[in-house]
Structure 1
């Protein structure tokens, strides 16, 4: 269980942005000011650290320190976007670090810029990780792939015990592009979300069904400029429950899976509670619990729409493997946005593919005035059977 959830702070964050230190067009101060105006409590600066870039340098970290001194908010998390080998820049991983470990970004870039094997680099990061001081996400996973299975194969190969990679960027940036997410190859986003997360029964569900626990409800801007990208927290937002209002708190919330993401900025709040009559407390995304003698799972979804989504129909989908033992949409409920709480239950749940547990997650959708569907996802709750 996540012991601080009862007293958590809910923060809006964007964990994937770029500045002039690599291929972004804005100075850090302008980006931070714009993020704050759009409601971001925290942003991660994740510039590319390839040859010719000024990311992961003393100048880069000095600018981040100066911005923190200039303004307390948004909280600035330093990171870098790593071209994980051996794909010649085709696959990207965002590395995020606690402020106390920021010099390690320089060392990492110097040591592993030219490596062809991700194993030693990931091991190096894991050895320097203390609880939630370093973590990483697999960015826009299907953008340059020819088949979805590549993403599952990559994730499994990159995540031995103790790995710093905790999940997928399910909601990629570049949502202003003609192809949302800038997916121009074989695979496309689904309502703006990567098919790794959006395809029910796909990669994310396959991993969850097998008993793995990657997070996928991360939605970022991948901001480079305001022509092709929305500003941080303007359109895509991740809502993180944190034990404290700090960079450390944000990293702990992300590591724990205590977050949900959305495109379209149409929800103020989305909560999933999963429990059983035997339990004193229900579980939230990122948590797990053992089912008792009463073979009933209770599900409660609480949401609060933004003003622009008032009087619209919201569609709630319960996704998981506990009804049949296979990943599926278990139940779909269309509600008026004035409804704030929806409940359901699963009787005599069936164990999933790992032979000992199952999971539940939520998708919420709303149709905008222009016909575009806005989507929100929670992470999952695991039920031990």
Structure 2
């Protein structure tokens, strides 16, 4: 849409944005009486990767984490302390009790007791449940049987990869026998060490597409790029090179972040697109991985060196120190920098999990975007994030993008400026015979839009569609250009290079 056309719809967009009615009025723009495909959802911000004093490398009490999360507008949160011998022995029930107290104290926050799973043959993943009987007992059983830190199954080899699949089957059994209603698994920081091979992603997803649903599109520990940390700081802690357990075919460039996002996500035509091109629903999130939060004044107290090994819990930290800049790594509070926004039908834990499972998610860094709506319309109706629109061959498909730019300062005191949104199109070519495939050549930026107002709406129409495809969005402040650039150690201030991404919408042609 031209800037003149954008101006004509700006005022209507401003008034009707939150109702999802559409800037040009979807009915008027598309010749249909349909309401917006996004209008029936509540868009809730959250984080599924957060640590506390019950992690060997954590610090905060659960209440401290929750208070920090609530200061930054968090609607839902998963506590995910690491699998560890002392955690399994001492921490699970104690965590459950603290989570239950916090849930009563902060009833407006949707809260889960999950864990960060040390995945056999790989690295880490988030695991959490819906409506689980004896949640603490089930988490302990899962940790005891399937966590590589407890069982010595860290090495990347076929036997350990099979053990990871056994763990997913175990979750399937618990769902079938009524122990829990559902479960979700996300792969965390997939390229931090390069230990999650393409075939492992495909195997886990194909085994349980309703459980293993995606990956962190960007890692936590974004504060690690803070220039006050000196030349050693890396966004996301992505400071590694290939190791003995890394998948050997990953290129050297894969071990760095790009505008804070994982290489699998940031590279157009790369690993994420390779999975989407097969028609797989494989979704991204963005999380804090909070352990020690950037420039926070809460600090760990002096404790015996074997404190965690003996008790599975660090002593309560205190608010009495200088701002954090030099722990082993530096994160942010949930939703302070990274925000995962989920379209939920209701404000309930089950509805959030259903939205995550469906891929109804967009993510942003640094408050770059306050709201983002993305829909497509055609002969088969309308669809939004994670959904599939079926259209007749030869018909037209119209995209509607509605965005609300930042108007409030973020935690760095800056009001970021969204300068461009890219509409990315990829061909859906079907399952690959190569389980190691990590490129998809038929992916490109179809159109770019430049928001000029607080509320902006853009449309784009694909004429005479003949083959299936998917669409996804990315946006940037453009401070380092309009293509994601590799983050430079010691010069990767996260607030100065901000991006947002959406999950895809699939268009199927009949």
* Higher RCO, 1 vs 2 (CA within 8 Å, ≥6 residues apart): 2
After superposition, where does 1:333-348 map in structure 2 within 5 Å? 333-348=449-464
Counterparts in 2 of 1:383 and 1:56: CA distance versus 1, 3 Å: farther
Partner of residue 219, structure 2? 172
Instruction: Pick the structure with more strand per residue.
Output: 1
Cα deviation, 1:284-340, whole Å, max 9, x if unaligned, reads 011102112542111111000121587935211111225998112122222324451
> How far did 1:66 drift?
1.3
Matched, 1:268 2:370: yes
Aligned-residue Cα RMSD (Å) equals 2.5
Given candidates 419, 426, 448, the residue that maps to 1:314 is: 419
What is the rounded CA distance, in whole Å, between the counterparts of 1:123 and 1:20 in structure 2?
30
Q: What is the Cα deviation at residue 110 of structure 1? A: 2.2
1:1-385 superposed matches below 5 A: 6-22=39-55, 23-53=57-87, 57-87=92-122, 91-101=123-133, 102-103=135-136, 104-113=138-147, 114=151, 116=160, 117-129=163-175, 133-145=182-194, 151-163=197-209, 164-177=211-224, 178-186=233-241, 187-216=255-284, 218-226=285-293, 227=324, 228-276=330-378, 278-279=379-380, 281-307=381-407, 308=409, 312-322=417-427, 326-351=442-467, 357-367=468-478, 372-385=496-509
Give me the whole-angstrom Cα distance separating, in 2, the residues matched to 1:286 and 1:118. Answer: 26
Give aligned pairs, total. Answer: 369
Distance 1:56 1:286, change over 3 A: farther
Q: Secondary structure at the match of 1:7?
A: coil
Report deviation, 1:157. 2.2
Q: Which deviates more from structure 2 when the two are superposed, residues 361-370 or residues 24-33?
A: 361-370
Distance 1:48 1:267, change over 3 A: same
User: TM-score scaled to structure 1, two decimals?
Assistant: 0.89
Give 3-state SS (helix, strand or coil) of 1:176's partner: helix
Question: Aligned to 1:319, what secondary structure does the other structure show?
Answer: strand
Give SS of 1:207's match: helix
Name whichever of 375-384 and 108-117 sits farther off.
108-117
Give unpaired runs (5+ residues) of structure 2: 1-36, 154-159, 225-232, 242-254, 294-323, 325-329, 430-440, 481-492
CA distance in 2, matches of 1:234, 1:312: 17
Query: Which structure: larger Rg?
Result: 2
Tell me the distance in 1 between the aligned counterparts of 2:62 and 2:479: 32
* Distance in 2 (alpha carbons) for counterparts of 1:316 and 1:323: 22
Give me the TM-score of the superposition, normalised by structure 2: 0.68
- Cα deviation for residue 160 of structure 1 reads 2.7
State the shift of 1:368 in Å.
Answer: 6.4
Quote the Cα distance in structure 2 between the aligned partners of 1:240 and 1:120.
Answer: 29
Mind listing any 5+ residue stretches in structure 1 that lack a counterpart?
352-356
- Identify if the C-alpha distance between structure 1 residues 27 and 93 changes in structure 2 by more than 3 Å, giving closer, same or farther: same
Are residues 334 and 132 of structure 1, via their aligned partners in 2, closer, same or farther at CA, if it must alter by over 3 Å?
farther
Distance 1:326 1:303 in 2: 27
SS in 1 for 2:219: coil
1:321-377 CA distance string (max 9 Å, x none) = 2599811212222232445101111223353xxxxx311100011146988221111
What do the CA deviations read for 1:230-280 (whole angstroms, capped 9, x no partner)? Answer: 11111110111112112222111111111111111121111111112x24x
Please say if residues 299 and 343 of structure 1, whose CA atoms lie closer than 8 Å, have aligned partners that are also in contact.
yes
Determine if contact 2:38/2:373 at 8 Å carries over to the other structure: no
**Structure number with higher helix proportion:** 2
Contact 1:169 1:220 in 2 (8 A): yes
Q: How many Å separate the matches in 2 of 1:347 and 1:157?
A: 36
Instruction: Work out the CA distance in 2 between the residues paired with 1:289 and 1:342.
Output: 19
CA deviations 1:82-119 (Å, max 9, x no partner) are: 111124xxx11111212434232122112223253212
Structure 1: distance between partners of 2:77 and 2:165: 28
- By how many angstroms is 1:8 displaced? 1.7
